[in-house]
């Protein structure tokens, strides 16, 4: 398997797997999936008074996409606000912005309340323009966001602010509310104090005597209710998701420390979210994306890297970030769940509700 920069620093999968108390035979709620959504669901259920909740994870907490992303905390979606308004209407676009800002506040509170050491910073983010079309969309989005009460601005001096590193970008939308985090450390920190069953790969959910049985190859858990939070792996759990969720692989790399890279505290993304990069606390550069150049190759569940795409990521650092000398410390992939309309699926399974 591939191992991300974050997992490499503190990989939980090499130690003993966590298991819940053997005395509990039946749970109120079983959360399937030990990523950010699953762990957060269990965490807030416990805060609401549900003590009999267990997280089921096939590997270890944060093994999947939640421990393999770039660690951006962004408001809204990857598409510019102007596109969201056209696609969804202004009220819905505004609701998405508000909900993602609320989500960021919850992350900040959890980091503080649980004293999670995860490199959390709220230093804003840049959506950079790589073309005149993108520049115009971002400038229009700034006007619309400001009119709806969101404090963002279009900055044309991005290269100067990054020490001259970003000369190929004419400017970008800056959102001061955004931030960055070590996603693997955060999810594991949030899971502290929860009942977690690692090494439990759920493959069936069966209604049984008014309750549910969640089964793996060798074991089973009984619960009154199940929450499915397995992202791109949903079709492997239930055929209902076959034509609703599609596994797509993202590719990333991390360089060894590059002193003086001057990229600052903000994460950057460009090309409508297809290109993204950031500096880490130890001066490494995390670079990811470019999937749009390899659409047909980056599908499915294989935990592998694509040599051609990885080479393209290296070239991007040289050509767009102005950094000629670096070595690569980690290369990895991660499976994401895509839907037809780009929005999450929320609701009950029709045949199991």
Number of domains in the chain: 2
- The model's confidence at residue 255, banded by pLDDT at 50, 70 and 90, is very high
Same domain as 201, residue 159:
no
Examine the fold and report which residue of 128, 161, 180 is the final residue of a domain before the chain moves on.
180
Question: Residue 61 belongs to a domain with what CATH number?
Answer: 3.50.50.60
Q: Confidence band (pLDDT; 50, 70, 90) for 14?
A: low
Nearest-angstrom CA–CA distance, 287 and 182 = 14
Separation between Cα atoms, residue 41 and residue 35, nearest integer Å: 10
Last residue of a domain, one of 163, 180, 197: 180
**349 domain-assigned:** no
Determine the structural domain holding residue 227 and report its residue range: 5-9+17-68+185-241
For the stretch 269-300, pLDDT in tens is 999 999 999 999 999 999 999 999 999 999 99
Least trusted range by pLDDT, from 142-151, 316-325, 340-349: 340-349
> Is residue 278 within 8 Å of residue 72, measured between CB atoms?
yes
The average confidence (pLDDT) of the chain is 93
DSSP string covering 70-83: --EE-SS-SS-HHH
Point out the domain boundary residue: 132, 162, 180: 180
44 and 85 housed in the same domain: no
156 and 194 fall within a common domain: no
Residue 324, pLDDT > 80, answer yes
Same domain, 142 and 218: no
> Is the domain of 118 the same as that of 87?
yes
Q: pLDDT tens digit string along 42-86? A: 999 999 999 899 999 999 999 999 999 999 999 998 889 999 999
Q: How confident is the model at residue 165 (pLDDT cuts 50, 70, 90)?
A: confident
Percent of the chain with pLDDT over 70: 97
The reply to whether 149 and 225 lie within a common domain is no
Tell me what percent of the residues of the chain surpass a pLDDT of 90: 83
* 64 in the same domain as 34: yes
Q: Is the pLDDT of residue 18 over 60?
A: yes
Alpha-carbon distance of 31 to 41, in angstroms, equals: 8
Residues 28, 84, single domain; the answer is no
Sequence-ordered alpha helix ranges (H) in 16-131: 36-47, 81-88, 90-113
87 Cβ contact list (under 8 Å, min separation 6):
79
Core vs surface per residue 303-328: b (16+ CB within 10 A) or e: eebbeebbebbeebbeebbbbeebeb
169 and 87 in a common domain: yes
C-alpha to C-alpha distance for 111 and 312, rounded to whole angstroms: 35
How confident is the model at residue 98, as a pLDDT? Answer: 98
Residues 85 and 176 in one domain: yes
Q: Are residues 91 and 141 in the same domain?
A: yes
Confidence band (pLDDT; 50, 70, 90) for 10? confident
Alpha-carbon dihedral angle through residues 319, 275, 123, 115, given to the nearest 10 degrees? -120
């Amino acid at each position: 398997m591939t191992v991300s920069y974050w997992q490499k620093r503190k990989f939980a999968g090499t130690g003993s797997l966590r298991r819940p108390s053997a005395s509990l035979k039946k749970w109120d709620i079983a959360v399937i999936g030990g990523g950010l959504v699953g762990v957060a669901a269990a965490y807030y259920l416990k805060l609401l008074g549900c003590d009999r909740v267990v997280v089921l994870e096939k590997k270890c907490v944060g093994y999947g996409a939640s421990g393999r992303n770039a660690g951006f905390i962004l408001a809204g979606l990857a598409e510019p606000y102007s596109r969201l308004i056209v696609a969804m209407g202004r009220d819905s676009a505004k609701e998405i912005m508000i909900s993602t800002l609320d989500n960021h506040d919850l992350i900040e509170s959890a980091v503080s309340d649980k004293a999670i050491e995860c490199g959390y910073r709220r230093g804003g983010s840049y959506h950079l323009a790589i073309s005149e079309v993108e520049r115009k969309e971002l400038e229009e989005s700034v006007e619309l966001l400001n009119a709806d009460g969101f404090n963002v601005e279009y900055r044309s001096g991005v290269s100067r602010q990054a020490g001259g590193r970003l000369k190929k970008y004419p400017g970008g939308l800056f959102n001061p509310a955004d931030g960055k985090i070590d996603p693997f450390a955060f999810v594991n920190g949030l899971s502290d104090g929860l009942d977690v069953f690692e090494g439990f790969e759920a493959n069936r959910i069966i209604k049984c005597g008014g309750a549910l049985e969640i089964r793996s190859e060798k074991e089973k858990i009984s619960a009154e209710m199940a929450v499915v939070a397995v992202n791109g792996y949903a079709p492997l759990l239930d055929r209902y998701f076959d034509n609703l969720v599609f596994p797509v692989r993202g590719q990333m790399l991390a360089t060894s420390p590059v002193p003086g890279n001057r990229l600052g505290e903000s994460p950057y993304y460009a090309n409508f979210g297809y290109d993204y990069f950031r500096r880490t606390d130890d001066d490494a550069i995390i670079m990811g994306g470019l999937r749009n150049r390899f659409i047909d190759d980056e599908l499915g569940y294989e935990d592998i890297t694509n040599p051609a795409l990885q080479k393209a990521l290296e070239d991007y650092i040289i050509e767009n970030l102005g950094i000629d000398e670096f070595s690569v410390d980690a290369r990895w992939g991660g499976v994401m769940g895509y839907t037809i309309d780009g929005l999450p699926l929320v609701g009950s399974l029709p045949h199991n509700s």
